[in-house]
A and B are shown apart, each in its own frame.
Chain A
Amino acid sequence: MAASPDPSARPGDGGSASAEPILVVDDIYKQFETQDGVLVAVDHVSFDVKPGEFLSVIGPSGCGKSTLFNIMGGLLDGYGGRVSVAGETVRGPHASIGMIFQEESTFPWRSVIDNVAFPLEIAGMPKAERLEKARHFVDLVGLDGFERRYPSELSGGMRQRVSMARTLASEPKILLMDEPFAALDEQTRLLLGDKVLQIQQDLKQTTLLITHNLTEAVQLSDRILVMTYRPGKTKRIVAIDLPRPRTSEIVGSDAFGHYVAQIWNDLREEASRGMRDDESRRGGARRA
């Protein structure tokens, strides 16, 4: 039960073992100043992702996943360590990175189709062309028929699909997703996971998925990085050696169950540590 990451566990279904990593996260450290003092959100996390690889980051709530996500996307400054894309140090949002945020992030003043066409509009694509392309991605996330609706007329899960489609429409080389399926029901989550996986395989997209859903992580990933509860460190990196192409049907298999059980063991330790921590803090606050 060594807590250090296992460097040999790195198959990378899409990328060959010899390929240079396209995304390198090197010794990232980030702390926040809060009223209660300094809070270490990410504590020296390192990993790298091969071209075409699907990596998931899993960890209990509050362990620093979103912080890491924003750092990788070039949206957060003031951290230690280095993030590089294809050898180039990230100093702001990188052209080959597309991000899907955990928070509600559709533009409420744009219809579904105009939301999805946003990155294409920014890229200066002619109107007819970008609407055509946007429509394709709207269909892909199962929202055909809702093109002219506004986000306020959709459910939370539908809005999350709109923001997914918007980022997918920009066809990034590297896709970063922060709990994109969190607002969806189990069935939609599985089906949409299939879609994302299919696009990822088609486009040979490098994908990093942040989640706290174990099934989702095992279903989709080549490797899973398990983070510890605060401060967020790497607890373990697990290679998922399941055959591809995968679909949601794999969820029923024995091998799948084995991986889930293995990672759940690690996660339970961290999650209960997190809950104890919260309880003692609450107790402390009451006494103070």
Chain B
Amino acid sequence: MAETSLTRTAPVAAPWLSPVTRLRIVIIVTIVAVWEAVAASGLLFRDVVPSLVVIGGALVNILTHVDFKVPVDSFELWIPEFYRHLWVTISEVATAMVFGGLAGLVVGLTLGTNPFLANAFERFLYYLGPTPKIIFFPIMIMWFGVGPGSKIAMGTISCFFPVVLSAAAGVRQIDSVLIRVGRSFRVNTWQMVTKIYLPAMREPIINGVRLGLGVAVIGTLLAETKLSNRGVGFLIINAYSTFDMPRMYALLIVLFVVAIGANALVGRASRR
């Protein structure tokens, strides 16, 4: 943002591309060139580094190859199967964000405002926070089955920790005078939370949700790669096990794009 406003305010002396943009272009071109060189040289085992052209072809194939039949009432709708898997993953992550985010927020607010409970429980959150959540997957399968339920549970657990920790820390960094102002105007508990705590905690909450989104995606996809027959994680591990490298790389590219888009969405929501 600073970049664009800079070039806009100083159009006279500005070169046609800013130094940062030029550096980025150089780096990308270099990577592409090295990749292609390695792919063409055949130094590595065949297909481990497929040519970008081949990956591009696989990408087009994934996005457009119609191979899935959806019965809609009396007729049938044909769509590329990929979108069904993408939808499964997105809705799993979204559900996990809702559950994990809300739970994290409520627990974080409670711990942040109650020193006694914080004293009793917060250390456990710090122990569990960095633990790889995949160790809970067997339990989640037993509790919620092999379907989307266990994937959502994994995403929820993953998302919960960053949100709860940043919410608890966020409550404590609220300027105490703002809370005294609220009390002096005799706000009730609900008003205190919605009109003072939450707005005052905007930044830590958004940071927590950002981190939470990242780990929710990881948790869900990891669970999909372990045991499932649906979702992008399943597609990727499937491509890997059939050694379809171009398809695997293409799926990873789609995943990056989706992740960047989701992060941008959170960023936009945070800018009110």
Q: Name A residues whose Cβ lies closer than 8 Å to a Cβ of B.
A: 70, 73-75, 92-93, 95, 97-99, 101, 103-105, 107, 109-110, 118-119, 121-122, 163, 170
Contacts and interface: CB of A to CB of B under 8 A. Distances in A.
A109 B202 contact: yes
B271 interface: no
B185 A122 contact: yes
Contact of A99 (B175, B184, B187, B195): B184
B181 interface: yes
B107 to A, nearest CB: 23
A103 B177 contact: yes
A75 B183 contact: yes
B187 A122 contact: yes
Contacts of B200: 107, 109
15 contacts: A74-B183, A97-B184, A98-B184, A99-B181, A101-B177, A101-B180, A103-B175, A104-B177, A107-B199, A109-B200, A109-B202, A118-B185, A118-B195, A121-B195, A170-B185
Interface of chain A, main secondary structure: loop
B271 to A, nearest CB: 13
User: What are the 3 closest A-B residue pairs judged by CB atoms, nearest first?
Assistant: A103-B177, A109-B199, A99-B184
A92 B180 CA distance: 11
A105 B199 contact: no
Given A73-B184, A110-B199, 12 more contacts: A75-B183, A93-B183, A93-B184, A93-B186, A103-B177, A104-B177, A105-B178, A107-B181, A107-B199, A119-B185, A122-B195, A170-B185
Interface in B137-195: 175, 177-178, 180-181, 183-187, 191, 195
Contacts of B202: 109
Q: Determine chain B's interface SS by DSSP, over half rule.
A: helix
Residue of B180, B181, B183, B195 most packed against chain A (CB within 10 A): B181
A95 B200 CA distance: 25
Nearest to A115: B181
B181 A105 contact: yes
A224 to B, nearest CB: 24
Contacts of B183: 74-75, 92-93
Contacts of A74: 183
A57 B177 CA distance: 21
A153 to B, nearest CB: 15
Max chain A CB contacts within 10 Å: which of B185, B186, B187? B185
Interface of B: 175, 177-178, 180-181, 183-187, 191, 195-196, 199-200, 202
Contacts of B177: 101, 103-105
A119 B196 CA distance: 12
B1 to A, nearest CB: 18
A110 B182 CA distance: 14
B181 A101 contact: yes
A282 to B, nearest CB: 28
A122 B194 CA distance: 12
A119 to B, nearest CB: 5
B199 to A, nearest CB: 4
A182 to B, nearest CB: 14
A117 B183 CA distance: 16
B254 to A, nearest CB: 37
A122 B191 contact: yes
Given A109-B200, A122-B191, A75 B185 contact: no
Contacts of A93: 183-186
Contacts of A109: 199-200, 202
A174 B186 CA distance: 15
A96 B195 CA distance: 22
Contacts of B187: 122
A109 B178 CA distance: 12
Nearest to A94: B186
Given A107-B199, A109-B199, A122 B178 contact: no
Contacts of A163: 181
B186 A122 contact: yes
B179 to A, nearest CB: 9
Contacts of A70: 180
Contact of B180 (A75, A104, A107, A119): A75
A102 to B, nearest CB: 9
A122 to B, nearest CB: 5
A67 to B, nearest CB: 13
A105 B176 CA distance: 9
A110 B196 CA distance: 10
Contacts of B181: 99, 101, 105, 107, 163
Contacts of B180: 70, 73, 75, 99, 101, 105
Nearest to A163: B181
Nearest to A110: B199
A57 B184 CA distance: 20
Most buried by A among B180, B187, B195: B180
A95 B186 contact: yes
A75 B184 contact: yes
A93 B186 CA distance: 6
Contacts of A170: 185
Nearest to B187: A122
B194 to A, nearest CB: 11
